[in-house]
Amino acid sequence: MLPDTGREERDETQSSRTSNVEQAQSSSNPAPLSGSAKLFADAVKEEAEERVRSAKLSVLEQEYENWTGEENIKDAVLRMLVDKYKPLRTGSIQTAEEKMKQTPPKVGSTSLTDQVPSTSHVKLTPEGNSWASEPLLRATEGHQPWHTTFKVPEHAVASVKLAQLPPVSSKPSGTPLPIDDKERRLEREHRKRTEQGIRLTQARESTLEYRLGIRGENMPTSRPKPVSMKGWTSLVEERIEKARQAGAFSAIKGRGQPLARSTDEHNPFIAREEFLMNRIIQKNQAAPPWIETQSGKYLAVNTFRELLRQAWIRRVIRNLTMSHPLEILRKFTLHDIKAHRDQSWVEKEKSYHETAIAELNALVRKYNGLAPYAVRRAYYSREAEIGRLYDECAPEILRQIAERGEGGQFRPLGGGEGVGSPGSAEGHATGLQSDMQSSPAGAEGGSFMKWVRGVFHRWFGTGT
């Protein structure tokens, strides 16, 4: 009950204040309000304005709903009906311009004369015989602006002067040579290279003109170049006709066949000019410098890795066949081959590997200097390249061991310590030769040696 009592007391106090203010305003001779009464009156006025403003906002919120992101069914149906059944074009329909003409905008009736203080008026009309009131030209009856003609003034006298061109100097134009010997030598070399380039360009153009038949023995040394578009058209047609008579169009590649289309031709994100330029570059096998350097780098890297791979395969097969008997070799798995290490071979081939890696890094450095930032490559390291061998060569090593053990005999590959060793090529050739001799199609003279090797292998578990 306490909150209701306080609310009633506030309402009574507010109503009493409102009545007091109204009585004070309605009186013909209002008494001056005190400070507290003035504050109460302002507060009551602000509360009344807030109530009116809140009422207007509630009405507007109820009239127009907020946009929820989806179209109302009523609005969608109305839109579809309007789109399908267009309104008839009758005389009653008026355009926006006609409506604006019928109801022109009206300016408020409040004048600024009451708000702006009065100022003294200045009379701008000329008085007396002033030139401002007289027309500049004498008026002629029936004269129109297009009837006006230009008349040369009497004081104007025609004067024509002959042009005098400056004398042409026989000396070559240009900046004088510097005083310093070094700068003079550089300037002289630059002029010499420029003149040489001009002569080469003229020689190339003369060669092309001679091949096209423009300049011959009985023809003038120089042909005037066309100035108008018609002249260029006739020149082009003349050259095309000469080329056709010479048979230049009879051996065109793809003549009478449909044109080869590309997917990029219909790509909306590639301009027509860019597509044509790319096709010309591809047909002529032209590429940016960093693309050409990239192909050379890939070739060098693949060659080095292939040589390193062959050397490691020969080394592992030779060591395993010489140090393990047949029963153990048959039990080897892929994990055992990957876990095999040969530190002596790594140390022996270290100098060759470092030299090859240095050459590869030099190519990478050159490539990174030409290529964009997004396609640059990192440098190669010897440890990373050797680490790749253990996983990549294991399946090939296991396969070759299985092939050599099918006949019950294991022989190591001859020589072949590594890529950089002197006997690498000789060892590889010896290994191939021994494989050929172990086949049934080998020579008859090697049968006794094969029998001896088989006996030693069965007795001692090794080959000779």
Reported as a single tens digit per residue, the pLDDT across 238-269 is: 889 998 888 888 888 888 888 888 888 888 89
Q: Two tokens at 290?
A: 């960093």
Is the pLDDT higher at 5 or at 271? Answer: 271
Residue for token pair 């104007």: 156
Residue 50's pLDDT band, with cuts at 50, 70 and 90, is: confident
Whether the pLDDT of residue 216 is over 60: the answer is: no
Whether the pLDDT of residue 5 is over 80: the answer is: no
Mean residue pLDDT of the chain comes to 74
Q: Which residues of 319-358 are buried (b: 16+ CB within 10 A; e: fewer)?
A: ebbeebeeeebeebeeeebbebeeeebbeebeebbeebbe
Is the pLDDT higher at 88 or at 336? Answer: 336
pLDDT at position 357, please? 93
Is the pLDDT higher at 357 or at 30? Answer: 357
CA distance 413 to 436: 12
Whether the pLDDT of residue 163 is over 50: the answer is: yes
pLDDT at position 437, please? 40
The whole-number average pLDDT for the span 154-172 is 60
Residue among 413, 414, 411, 399 at smallest CA distance from 454: 411
Residues 6 or more apart in contact with residue 423 via CB below 8 angstroms: 415, 416, 417
Q: Cβ(415)–Cβ(331) under 8 Å?
A: no
pLDDT at position 380, please? 94
Residue 172's pLDDT band, with cuts at 50, 70 and 90, is: low
Residue 113's pLDDT band, with cuts at 50, 70 and 90, is: low
Residue 407's pLDDT band, with cuts at 50, 70 and 90, is: low
pLDDT at position 164, please? 60
pLDDT at position 306, please? 92
CA distance 7 to 2: 9
Q: Two tokens at 230?
A: 């018609």
CA distance 309 to 315: 10
CA distance 11 to 5: 10
pLDDT at position 425, please? 38
Q: Report the range out of 109-113, 165-169, 225-229, 292-296 with the highest average pLDDT.
A: 292-296
In order of 63, 83, 212, 220, 248, the CA distances from 243 in angstroms are 82, 62, 8, 21, 5
